Amino acid sequence: EKDTVELDISGMTCAACSNRIEKVLNKADGVENATVNLANETGTIEYRPGALSVDDMIAKIKKLGYDAALRA
C-alpha cells in the first residue's frame, strides 16, 4: 500500500538545498515520490509504510543539516 505524508522542513536557503533533500528522499527504499517546496518549506512524500517510516525520513533530512517535522 501507499501513503502520503507532508513535512515541515526548515533551514533551506537556496534551491540546491531543496534539490538535495529531494534527491536523498527519492533514492531511499520505500519512497515512491518526494517533492520539496523551498518557498513553502514543505515536503510531500509518497511512500510505502512497510518499507520506511516518517521518522526515517525526518532522520535523513536532519542528517543533511536541516530540520523536519510532521506537518500539523
Residue in 14, 39, 50, 63 binding ligand 9UX, rule: CB under 6 A: 14
User: Which range touches ligand 9UX (CB under 6 A), out of 9-17, 24-32, 36-44, 46-54?
Assistant: 9-17
Helix 15-27 and helix 54-63: axis angle, to 10°?
Answer: 140
Do the Cβ atoms of 1 and 21 come closer than 8 Å?
no
Asked if residue 38 binds ligand 9UX (CB under 6 A), the reply is: no
Q: What are the residue ranges of helices labelled H in 1-72?
A: 15-27, 54-63
Asked if residue 51 binds ligand 9UX (CB under 6 A), the reply is: no
Residues that bind ligand 9UX (CB under 6 A): 13-14, 16-17
